Amino acid sequence: VENAARSIGIQDNLQLNDLTNVDNDLEGIKVGLDRLKLDHLISLLYKLENNSPVLKISHLSINISPGERKIRASFQVKKQKQG
């Protein structure tokens, strides 16, 4: 997630937190993004969706601040543990 955000130039808008309530064979993080343009969010989601290993994106929430038209988004990303 960090590499994808860096490649788009939005790493300063990124917050990552480990998920603790995931199945034993998975690991995951909660992603928070603030002050984004819509095209940056779509680019990030596209990069994550086409990542190898396969990532599961869930719990996507998007809010738009009315004044600046910037987006705040959060979602969870999970993957199989490397074994």
Q: Report DSSP state, residue 25.
A: T
Q: Which residue has the tokens 């599961």?
A: 56
SS3 22: coil
Token pair for 17: 């937190």
Phi/psi of residue 61, nearest 5 degrees: -130, 130
- Give pLDDT tens digits for 25-76: 889 999 999 999 999 999 999 999 998 888 999 999 999 988 888 999 999 9
Predicted TM-score (pTM) of the model is 0.89
Question: Number of H helices and number of E strands within the chain?
Answer: 2, 4
Which strand (E) or helix (H) includes residue 74?
strand 71-80
